[in-house]
Amino acid sequence: MDLATFAWRTNNTGVNESYYNPNLTCKTMSQTLNILTVTIALVGLVGNAIVLWLLGFHMHRNAFSVYILNLAGADFLFLCFQTVYSLRNIIAHIHNTHIGLDKYLRIVFNFAYLSGLSMISAISAERCLSVVWPIWYRCRRPRHTSTVMCALLWALSLLLSLLEGMACGLLYDVFDYRGCEKLDFITFAWLIVLVVILSGSTLTLLVRIFCGSRRMPVTRLYVTIAFTVLVFLLFGLSYGIYWFFILWIWWPLDIFPCSIYSITTFLSCVNSCANPIIYFLVGSIRHCRFQRQTLKMLLQRAMQDTPEEENEG
């Protein structure tokens, strides 16, 4: 995955933009996607802001809510700067001007995207550990593991983003091709590790739930995690794959010459916007019907880790 070097490659391929977007259809599609991205991002900003407010100031936090709080922060950051970037493109198209924000915005994209993926992987791995080794998890797990892990994941994502930005000429005007390429592959390797952890832990959970010798009750927390992972794999993963292949392997430009960047960023915005919707939707469903409850209650129910019958009793 390569988020930071896009500005360098944009400078090299910008002059050939008419080659990849030879007609008005591509430009129209790109502007349409920018408008849709802003619309989706604004909805996501509101949803993630509500989650941040409730988890940060109005709810007691546990191991999983800490990860969800940090995931909402990463999604909010990603959507905020993606909104700025898309608005910048819309304004530049209308007034035919250039607003030089690409370098710094893409470092933030890199940071927010890696942080969000890291939080989703951590949530899935944490839940897997609690199911596979329940006694160790309840008795031996350090109390502040979630907080420490989130801090480490934020720091690692920031470090990778800044190092890549420096090597790829985004923080300074000096571009080191070899260093940039190495950091891109390191970042992509970290992306693969996170996806493997995410997929492996989720698959393990599904096997233990549906194929285990002792059937485990499906709680709302399971459903919340499952939908969050599924939405990321469907919408969010394409962003990281695009950056790696588009910047170091040229073939996608020949297959998808029109607005592929706008498509992948739009899909990632859908992913970040969908997470708070998942929480409130899972929390609102009860015995196949919807009930009116406060957003705080819905969020609490979405992270409920006890069977429905047990909780009602």
Query: What's the pLDDT score for residue 133?
Result: 85
Residue 83: inside a domain: yes
| Single-letter residue type at 33 | L
Q: What's the pLDDT score for residue 309? A: 54
Q: How much is the pLDDT for 102?
A: 65
Q: Do 29 and 257 form a contact (C-beta atoms < 8 A)? A: no
pLDDT over 70 (residue 137)? yes
Domain that holds residue 126: 6-13+24-305
Closest-CA residue to 306 (of 214, 222, 246, 239): 222
Establish if 19 belongs to a structural domain: no
CATH assignment at residue 253: 1.20.1070.10
Tell me how crowded residue 27 is: count the other CB atoms within 10 A of its CB.
Answer: 16
Q: How confident is the model at residue 308 (pLDDT cuts 50, 70, 90)?
A: low
Least confident among 79-88, 109-118, 258-267: 258-267
Instruction: Let me know if residue 311 belongs to a domain.
Output: no
Q: Give the CA angle between residues 88, 245, 189 to the nearest 5°.
A: 105
Output the CA–CA distances (angstroms, integers) from residue 219 to 17, 108, 132, 301, in the order listed: 50, 35, 16, 10
**Residue 1 belongs to some domain of the structure:** no
- On whether the CB atoms of residues 119 and 70 are closer than 8 A, the answer is yes
Give domain status of residue 161, yes or no.
Answer: yes
Number of domains in the chain: 1
Segment of 12-21, 172-181, 260-269 carrying the highest mean pLDDT = 260-269
Any domain includes 114: yes
Q: How far apart are CA 176 and CA 181, in angstroms?
A: 8
* pLDDT (average), residues 207-221: 76
2 has a pLDDT exceeding 50: no
**Cα-atom radius of gyration of the chain, to the nearest Å?**
21
The 10s digit of each residue's pLDDT in 16-53 is 343 444 456 777 888 889 899 999 999 999 999 999 99
Give domain status of residue 310, yes or no: no
Three-state secondary structure call for residue 252: helix
pLDDT band at 69 (very low <50, low <70, confident <90, very high): very high
pTM of this structure = 0.85
The distance of Cα 9 from the centroid of its chain, to the nearest Å, equals 23
Q: Does 111 map to a domain? A: yes
